[in-house]
Chains A and B, each alone.
Chain A
Amino acid sequence: MNAATAPRVGLFVTCLVDLMRPRIGFAALRLLETAGCRVVVPDAQTCCGQPGYNAGEFDSARALALKLADEFADCEYVVVPSGSCAGMIRVHYPTLFAHDAIHRERVAQLAARTYELTDFLVRFANVTALPGRFEGTLTYHDACSGLRELGIQRQPRALLAKLPGAKLVEMPDATTCCGFGGTFSNKYGEISSAMAGRKCAAIGQTGADAVVAGDLGCLLNIEGRLRRLGDDNTKVLHVAEVLAGEPE
């Protein structure tokens, strides 16, 4: 990408990153800018609407979908550092408006130009040099929505393979759910913790210095369980943080 043709990319940071770990948002921003994108961050963004949608409250999800479509109307692409939220926009927004002749087209267009971060970088940006570096071993957890709704599996691994210093070690059952599931993690805390426990055991088997994933929800769940089990050493990182490294 060169300056003249640099695409205008809207960054949707997600509500969880906004609240819990803003550095993931800034890491995504740095990666996109390094890749030559002109990045805009609409200030009024809140949430994609997934919590309400998955609770069965479809009206609020529709309202938030239209809000998001307005905010990102002038962006060629919308990039999201979360497979779950990107999947919500790409896969579920069109379903929500399938019978709405007025908004269907606009929502479909938004869905078609929305990408999960690593998917976007691999598809559209010829990433040769990454700003980050990681000395040690990494293991990658495939977050469910990104994996099964968007086919995010090869992309983060391809990028991590280019990261100086890092060595990827696969864990067993990397594609098995960590037990987060949004509000599931608190509604069914015991089951959720048990699922996270199995994930932690799989991570432990690799002996990796850090577990990496593309969704903050999963990371908070895995980190919470690791720490509770007494593991204070394994780093729990978003793929954007690893790829972008520490800001100068």
Chain B
Amino acid sequence: MQITSAEFKRKASAALRDTQLQHALGRMQSHFVDKRAAAMRELPDVEALRDAATAIRARALRDLDQYLSQFERAATAAGAEVHWAETAEDANRIITEIARAQSVRKIVKSKSMVTEECALNEHLEREGFEVVETDLGEYILQLAHEPPSHIVAPVMHKNKAEIATLFEEKHRRPRLDDIAALVGEAREILRPHFLTADMGISGANFLIAETGSVMLFTNEGNGRLATTLPRVHVAIAGIEKVVPTLDDAAVLARLLPRSATGQSITNYVSVLTGTRRDGDLDGPQHMHIVLLDNGRSRLLGTSMEPMLRCIRCGACMNHCPVYQNIGGHAYGWVYPGPMGAVLTPLYAGIEKSVDLPNASTFCGACVAVCPVKIPLTDLMRELRSRQLAQGLRSSAERWGLRAWSWAAQRPNVYAWIARAAARLLRRLSGRRWLPGLSNWTGGRDVPTPEGRTFRELYRDRHPK
């Protein structure tokens, strides 16, 4: 996916003025935050479960090479073919070659963020294949030619009326205004595609090392259709998605839907192991699993390794007050919110996404809800530090920091500056604009200091 994170400020500003988007974002509290909280209350000991989930993910990463090898052996034994893709281009090439070899014309897709990373749809369309997104949200975005703004609810930025207009225009059918009717129309259009597709492409929520299975959590049933009806199934996943055993996946399954959508469990949970066997009523004749690195292995053994624990539930963005105000598009790449503030610099380029790790108050709401306890704010701070070391921050900011640090280590100098600043700010009180503080004064009055510093006053009152 083309990265536009350099436009973060401009896009965030536009998002804040977009009343329709603001209305959609206003629903996040009830749709995601409250529902998650209610689903978590069903659990006897959330903290113990989060610790267990964290330990499972950490263990998988510690011996990632071994679990991936085990996965490859088990998947191959079950009849699947495993492919290793170092980059997004490699993944696209591998999938194109599979499609060519199998004389594929039409491809149906189940929602996959990794394919957004690779811009797989665009690639396959350029190569002459017909690609149909079958997740309702992704289908709408495909019609609208827009990127997702949320990893779980990709079209959350659109309202019913916009979708009705889009369907009317693209489906060339009479306008429908009822949600159930709109869903029914999409179903009618999509169903024949499932039946005529030669290949289905899915992501994977987990890869099970002991069985070689691909595990999927979905709600619409399109994932099951896309992976069992076409004769070829291609699953693509980041290499970090492996977990050792089915029991491990069962632990994570208690947290993933609850964290993502506030459901105890998703409508469908699929464990896909190998190709169709004799006597099976359905299932693909050919199964290919593409394991994508795309920057992941570089994080192993570094301070960023905890990010690889991520199970893509989206709780961090749902609970992020910055995301709640600006939505996902401003972040400019596949993964928005706090997860994107870490992943985008690491996968798509630290120099192309300087704003993302900085656009956080470090309120810690994301860390508090992360099911696998990723220290997102610590990782963002570490990225800020790398930006400084690489000279990626403005010289004004660097000099400001340097001057502040120099003064703060010299109490007398600092006291003098503080005294001067307190008096100056006092004199300027009531102004609606101050040089250097225009971003503050754009929306807030300038605070008025008392006029003398604490240290001055304390010295007066407690003479030595």
On A, residues with C-beta under 8 Å from B are 13, 15, 17-23, 25-26, 41, 43-47, 49, 51-60, 63-64, 67, 95, 144-145, 148-149, 173, 176-177, 179-182, 184-198, 220-221, 223-225, 227-228
Contact across chains for A63 and B364 when beta carbons are under 8 A apart: no
Closest to B457 in A: A22
Secondary structure at the B interface, as helix, strand, loop or mixed, is helix
- Residue contact A46 to B397, C-beta cutoff 8 Å: no
Known interface pairs A53-B381, A184-B361, A187-B358; 16 further A-B residue pairs with C-beta atoms within 8 A, sorted by A's residue number: A13-B454, A15-B418, A19-B421, A56-B381, A57-B405, A148-B365, A179-B321, A184-B362, A186-B437, A189-B438, A191-B12, A194-B443, A198-B325, A220-B447, A225-B443, A228-B444
For the complex, is B391 an interface residue (Cβ under 8 Å from A)? no
What is the total of A-B residue contacts with beta carbons within 8 Å?
193
**B271-323 contacts to A (CB < 8 Å):** 321-322
A46-B411, A52-B405, A177-B361 known; A189 and B385 CB under 8 Å?
no
Task: Check A177–B365 contact: CB distance below 8 A.
Answer: yes
Cβ of B109 under 8 Å from chain A: no
B127 within 8 A of A: no
B411 close to A25 (CB less than 8 A)? no
Contacts A57-B385, A67-B409 given; indicate if A18 touches B444 (C-beta within 8 A). Answer: no
Q: Which residue of A lies closest to B320 (CB)?
A: A177
Can you list 6 residue pairs at the A/B interface with Cβ under 8 Å?
A21-B450, A43-B458, A145-B362, A194-B443, A195-B321, A224-B445
Known: A22-B457, A190-B16, A191-B12. A196 touches B362 (CB 8 A): no
CB of A189 within 8 A of CB of B421, answer: no
A220 vs chain B, min Cβ distance (A): 4
- Is the Cβ of B454 less than 8 Å from the Cβ of A22? yes
A20–B449 CB distance below 8 A: yes
The distance in angstroms between the C-alpha atoms of A184 and B140, with both chains bound, is 35
Chain B residues numbered 439-464 whose CB sits less than 8 Å from any CB in chain A: 439-447, 449-450, 452-455, 457-459, 462
Which residues of chain B have a CB within 8 Å of any CB of chain A? 9, 12-13, 16, 29, 321-322, 325-326, 358-365, 367-368, 378, 381-388, 397, 401, 404-405, 407-409, 411, 414, 418, 421-422, 425, 437-447, 449-450, 452-455, 457-459, 462
Complex Cα spacing A67 to B408, Å: 10
A224 & B444 in contact (Cβ 8 Å cutoff): yes
A10 to B326, CA, bound (A): 42
Tell which of A145, A187, A220 touches B439, judged by Cβ atoms closer than 8 Å: A187
CB-CB nearest in chain B for A64: B408
Given A19-B418, A53-B381, A55-B401 in contact, is the A189-B442 Cβ separation under 8 Å?
yes
* Chain B residue with the shortest CB-CB distance to A44: B411
Closest residue to B375 on the A side, CB-wise? A95
Given contacts A18-B453, A190-B13, contact A224 B446 (CB under 8 A): yes
- Please measure, in the bound complex, the distance between the C-alpha atom of A122 and the C-alpha atom of B321, giving whole angstroms: 30
**Chain B residues with Cβ under 8 A from A41's Cβ?**
458, 462
Note all chain A residues with C-beta closer than 8 A to B459: 43
- Per a CB cutoff under 8 Å, which of B16, B404, B409, B421 touches A194? B16
B452 touches A45 (CB 8 A): no
Question: Are A186 and B440 in contact, CB atoms less than 8 angstroms apart?
Answer: yes
Once the chains bind, are A189 and B445 in contact (CB under 8 Å)?
Answer: no
Assuming the contacts A53-B381, A64-B408, A177-B361, asked whether A191 and B444 have C-beta atoms less than 8 A apart, the reply is no
User: Are B404 and A52 in contact (CB-based, < 8 A)?
Assistant: yes
Q: Which 9 A-B pairs have the closest CB atoms?
A: A193-B443, A181-B361, A189-B439, A224-B444, A56-B384, A56-B385, A60-B405, A177-B363, A22-B454
Query: Which residue of chain B has its CB nearest to the CB of A224?
Result: B444
**Docked CA distance A123–B386 (Å):** 39
Q: Which chain B positions have C-beta within 8 A of A186?
A: 437, 439-440
> For residue A145, which residues in chain B have a CB less than 8 angstroms away from its CB?
362, 364
A194 engages B418 (CB within 8 Å)? no
Contact A47 B367 (CB under 8 A): no
